[in-house]
């Protein structure tokens, strides 16, 4: 034994590395240690092969009862205890506590299977009927942008699905699940589609659990449902083309706004110009979700925003300014500070363009940023505006955009 015994220092390293998802070891075999004072949230499965009672047993099974979210945002909601001894069959005898204190702590697989079968049957009836008519893509759009347009029905579906997913992750790969693979897969795909359709960020990956994600990724297409349209370019030409295409107006509205969002995410330099349009577009989405407007009316509202965006793109080209200088011009154009002051926004934007070239490291160099601010204050303070606070705010916005 002495030859195989590791040092205390090495044992301490093992304890620390086991808590890290990308490190080894992945398995620990424990006899009399790590029951108290050791917390490893990512631990999912405990193989119980030693008779235990009372607080020792409770501490052991509690090792897997820790919340954990991995780097991809996937959450561990339950822990799995595999009992080779049979002690959990007599849980209330093994734990000398009031039986009400341990109700729901441990559930037998037979009980969980019955719960799964009841819930998936109800979910199939409640959520997977897309009605007759149309191709697979149209049926999916009817579900996502019709049934789940409002936040409350989405929330109820998410909660129902996650209950079923938790049970699937525990019970899989039980042979009793074979007849329900198709239904469960469709539910998981619908959950991912709804989450992605209404996600705040383009390219959101739905938080499917590990076994479920493997099941869904086995097929490139929805099982019985189609795929949602990807985000599209937000401009007048695209919007006009979408009007004549098949699909719901609500779905088109969401895809257009996602396109605008993606353009802002991919090009930080145009963000100051596009951000006000994005804010207004997202307000249109809220009105649509709350049924304060229709999909057709929302398309008309977005058409006006797309026209503004195209006009901004033309103005940027006509001025010949760099993207940063044009963003400053866009701010100056609508600023109350310059109105009636005798300084043309375009003229000032050209001066700003020179200053931005001169102080090109102002984003990361505090001294350059201070000099840039001082240079911007000079022409603005000559306007004689009584509200110096607005001038300061305008300069800060130009410098930090």
Compute the distance between CA of residue 189 and CA of residue 196 in angstroms, rounded to an integer.
10
User: Which of 338, 337, 359 shows the shortest CA–CA distance to 347?
Assistant: 338
Quote the tokens at residue 361: 């490291």
Bridge partners for 69 per DSSP: 75
Sequence-separated (6 or more) residues with CB below 8 Å from residue 280:
305
The secondary structure of 334-357 as a DSSP string is T-TTTTTSS--HHHHHHHHHHHHH
Q: Counting every residue, how long is the chain?
A: 401
Quote the tokens at residue 256: 């257009």
Compute the distance between CA of residue 313 and CA of residue 210 in angstroms, rounded to an integer.
44
- Could you report the per-residue pLDDT of 293-341, keeping only the tens digit for each? 888 888 888 888 888 888 877 877 877 777 777 777 766 666 655 565 5
Question: What does each C-alpha distance from 86 to 68, 94, 175, 246, 380 come to in angstroms?
Answer: 28, 11, 22, 59, 81
pLDDT at 128 over 90: no
The predicted model gives 13-40 an average pLDDT of 88
Confidence at residue 226, expressed as pLDDT on a 0 to 100 scale = 54
**Residue 7: φ, ψ to 5°:** -75, 165
Residue predicted with more confidence, 348 or 84: 84
Confidence at residue 328, expressed as pLDDT on a 0 to 100 scale = 74
Locate the domains of the chain by residue range: 8-102, 109-217, 236-319, 323-400
Q: What is the largest CA-CA distance in the chain?
A: 90
Residue predicted with more confidence, 210 or 223: 210
pLDDT at 252 over 90: no
User: Which of 198, 208, 217 shows the shortest CA–CA distance to 162?
Assistant: 208
Compute the distance between CA of residue 69 and CA of residue 398 in angstroms, rounded to an integer.
39
- Within 13 Å of residue 380, how many CA atoms lie on the same side as its CB? 26
**383 band by pLDDT with thresholds 50, 70 and 90:** low
**161 band by pLDDT with thresholds 50, 70 and 90:** very high
Confidence at residue 156, expressed as pLDDT on a 0 to 100 scale = 92
Compute the distance between CA of residue 213 and CA of residue 374 in angstroms, rounded to an integer.
55
Cα angle 300, 301, 302; round to 5: 90
Candidate ranges 8-17, 79-88, 89-98; pick with highest mean pLDDT: 8-17
Q: Are 190 and 127 spatial neighbours (Cβ–Cβ below 8 Å)?
A: yes
pLDDT at 1 over 90: no
pLDDT at 267 over 70: no
DSSP state of 202: T
Confidence at residue 114, expressed as pLDDT on a 0 to 100 scale = 92
């Amino acid at each position: 034994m002495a030859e195989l015994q590791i040092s205390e220092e090495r044992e301490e390293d093992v304890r620390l590395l086991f808590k890290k998802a990308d490190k080894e070891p992945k398995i620990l075999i424990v006899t009399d240690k790590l029951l108290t004072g050791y917390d490893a949230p990512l631990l999912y499965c405990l193989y119980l092969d030693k008779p235990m009672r009372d607080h020792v047993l409770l501490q052991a099974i509690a090792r897997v009862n820790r919340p954990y979210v991995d780097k991809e945002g996937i959450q561990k909601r339950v822990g799995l205890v595999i009992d080779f001894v049979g002690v959990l069959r007599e849980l209330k005898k093994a734990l000398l506590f009031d039986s009400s204190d341990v109700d729901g702590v441990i559930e037998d697989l037979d009980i969980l299977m019955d719960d799964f079968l009841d819930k998936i049957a109800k979910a199939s009836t409640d959520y997977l009927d897309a009605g007759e008519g149309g191709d697979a893509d149209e049926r999916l759009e009817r579900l996502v942008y019709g049934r789940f347009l409002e936040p409350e029905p989405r929330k109820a579906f998410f909660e129902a699905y996650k209950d079923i997913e938790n049970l699937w992750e525990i019970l899989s790969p039980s042979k009793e699940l074979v007849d329900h693979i198709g239904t469960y897969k469709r539910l998981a795909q619908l959950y991912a589609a709804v989450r992605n359709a209404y996600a705040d960020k383009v390219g959101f990956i739905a938080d499917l659990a590990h076994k479920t994600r493997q099941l869904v990724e086995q097929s490139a297409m929805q099982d019985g449902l189609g795929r949602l349209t990807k985000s599209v370019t937000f401009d007048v030409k695209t919007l006009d083309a979408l009007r004549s295409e098949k699909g719901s107006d609500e779905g088109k509205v969401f895809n257009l706004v996602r396109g605008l969002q993606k353009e802002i995410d991919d090009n930080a330099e145009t963000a100051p110009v596009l951000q006000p349009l994005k804010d207004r577009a997202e307000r249109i989405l809220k009105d649509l979700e709350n049924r304060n407007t229709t999909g057709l009316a929302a398309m008309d509202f977005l058409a006006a925003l797309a026209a503004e965006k195209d006009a901004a793109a033309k103005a940027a080209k006509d001025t010949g300014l760099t993207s940063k200088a044009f963003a400053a011009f866009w701010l100056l154009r609508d600023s109350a500070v310059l109105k009636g002051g005798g300084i043309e926004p375009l003229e000032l934007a050209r001066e700003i363009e020179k200053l931005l070239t001169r102080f090109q490291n102002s984003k990361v160099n505090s001294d350059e940023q201070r000099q840039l601010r001082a240079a911007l204050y000079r022409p603005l303070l000559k306007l004689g505006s009584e509200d110096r606070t607005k001038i300061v705010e305008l300069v800060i916005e130009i410098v930090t955009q």
